[in-house]
C-alpha cells in the first residue's frame, strides 16, 4: 500500500473557520466543572450533558413534526419521528455507560450535588409536554428563571403530538368526540372511546388509511423507546443508590417506577387487544 500525502488538505486556518470553530468546541469541552476531585464525577457530568444535547435535538424534531402533521405533511413528519426513535436509542445506551459507576464511586461526590437533580431537567419536561403528559406542579421548579418559566408555560399550553394526531383522524372523516377535539391541552390526555374506535378502523384497513397507520406506528415506536428509557433510568438509579431519596427531593426509584405506568398514547396500545 502506498503511503502518499494528501496534497489537497487545508492546513492554513488563520483566516478560515475550523471544525472546532463551527462546533464551538471550546465552549462545549470547557463546560465540565467537577465540584470534587473524584474521578467518576466527570463521567456523571458528561453523561447528563450528552443526554441534554440529544434531548435538544429530540425537541427540535418533535416540534417540527407537530407542525408538519397539522398541515397533513406526513412524509417529512414520519422522517422526523423516526429520527426521534433513533435518538432515544442513543439516550438509552447512555444509561449503560453510567451504570459502570458503582454505589461507592457515586457516594464519593454525591454530597457535592446539593439539591441539583435530573428531575429538574427542563428539556425533559418539554418532551413530556410535547408527548401530552402535562404536569403543572413541576413548573414551580423553574421560577428562578422567568424567561425559561414562560417558555415552559407556552409548551405546557400548546397541543402535543397526540393532539395533532387525533385531529388528523377527524380530518380524515372519523367521528371524534367534540370534548376531545376541543379539550384543554394543558391537561394530561385521558383515553377516549371515539379515538380508540377510530384507530381500530385505521388498523383494520391499513391500505385505505396508510398515512394514519404509519403515523400510529411512529407514535408507538416513540412511546416504546421512551418507556425503555424510563426503565433503564430507574434500574440505573436503583443499581447505584438503591431506594434512597433523590437529590432533588423525589422518592427516587419509587417515583421512577410510578411514571412507568403512564401511557402517552393509550388507545394505540389498547388497539392491540381489540383487533
Is 110 labelled as part of a ligand binding site? yes
45 is in an annotated binding site: yes
Low-confidence stretches of the chain (pLDDT beneath 70) = 1-4
What local confidence, expressed as pLDDT, does residue 217 receive?
A: 98
CA angle 213, 183, 268 (to 5 degrees): 25
Listing DSSP states for 54-86 in one string gives: HHHHHHHHHHHHHHHHHTT-HHHHHHHHHHHHH
- 43's enclosing H/E stretch is helix 41-70
Consult the annotation and say whether 233 binds a ligand.
Answer: yes
Interior angle at CA 246, CA 37 and CA 130, nearest 5: 110
The residue with cell 440529544 is 54
Query: Is 265 marked as a binding-site residue?
Result: no
Looking at residue 4, what is its pLDDT?
64
Task: Quote the CA–CA distance of 238 and 260 in Å, as a whole number.
Answer: 14
Q: Is 44 annotated as a binding residue?
A: yes
Whole-angstrom CA distances from 211 to 9, 67, 113, 168, 202 are: 47, 16, 47, 10, 9
Single out the residue of 79, 84, 274 nearest to residue 195, CA to CA: 274
| 200 marked as part of a ligand binding site | no
Which residues neighbour 255 within 8 Å (Cβ) at sequence distance 6 or greater?
A: 119, 246
* Exposed / middle / buried, residue 118 (Cβ in 10 Å: 0-12, 13-18, 19+): middle
Tell whether 74 is in a known binding site.
no
Say if residue 129 carries a ligand binding annotation: no
pLDDT tens, position by position, 216-226: 999 999 999 99
Q: Catalogue all structural domains in the chain, each as residue range(s) with its CATH number.
A: 39-111+120-241+251-272 (1.20.58.480)
pLDDT of residue 251: 75
Amino acid at each position: 500500500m502506498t503511503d502518499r500525502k494528501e496534497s489537497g488538505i487545508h492546513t492554513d486556518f488563520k483566516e478560515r473557520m475550523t471544525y472546532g470553530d463551527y462546533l464551538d468546541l471550546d465552549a462545549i469541552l470547557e463546560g465540565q466543572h467537577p465540584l470534587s476531585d473524584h474521578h467518576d464525577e466527570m463521567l456523571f457530568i458528561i453523561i447528563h450533558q450528552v443526554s441534554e444535547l440529544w434531548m435538544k435535538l429530540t425537541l427540535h424534531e418533535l416540534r417540527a413534526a407537530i407542525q408538519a402533521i397539522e398541515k397533513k405533511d406526513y412524509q417529512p413528519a414520519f422522517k422526523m419521528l423516526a429520527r426521534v426513535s433513533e435518538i432515544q436509542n442513543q439516550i438509552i445506551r447512555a444509561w449503560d455507560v453510567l451504570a459502570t459507576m458503582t454505589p461507592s464511586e457515586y457516594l464519593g461526590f454525591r454530597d457535592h450535588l446539593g439539591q441539583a437533580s435530573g428531575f429538574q431537567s427542563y428539556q425533559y419536561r418539554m418532551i413530556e409536554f410535547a408527548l401530552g403528559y402535562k404536569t403543572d406542579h413541576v413548573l414551580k421548579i423553574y421560577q428562578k428563571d422567568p424567561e425559561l418559566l414562560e417558555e415552559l408555560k407556552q409548551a405546557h399550553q400548546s397541543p402535543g403530538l397526540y393532539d395533532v394526531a387525533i385531529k388528523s383522524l377527524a380530518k380524515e372523516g372519523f367521528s371524534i368526540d367534540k370534548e376531545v377535539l376541543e379539550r384543554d391541552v394543558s391537561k394530561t390526555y385521558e383515553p377516549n372511546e371515539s379515538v380508540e374506535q377510530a384507530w381500530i378502523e385505521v388498523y383494520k384497513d391499513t391500505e385505505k388509511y396508510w398515512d394514519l397507520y404509519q403515523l400510529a406506528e411512529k407514535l408507538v415506536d416513540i412511546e416504546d423507546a421512551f418507556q425503555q428509557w424510563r426503565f433503564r433510568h430507574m434500574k440505573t438509579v436503583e443499581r447505584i443508590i438503591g431506594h434512597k431519596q433523590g437529590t432533588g427531593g423525589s422518592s427516587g426509584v419509587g417515583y421512577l417506577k410510578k411514571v412507568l405506568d403512564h401511557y402517552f398514547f393509550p388507545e394505540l396500545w389498547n388497539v392491540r387487544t381489540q383487533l
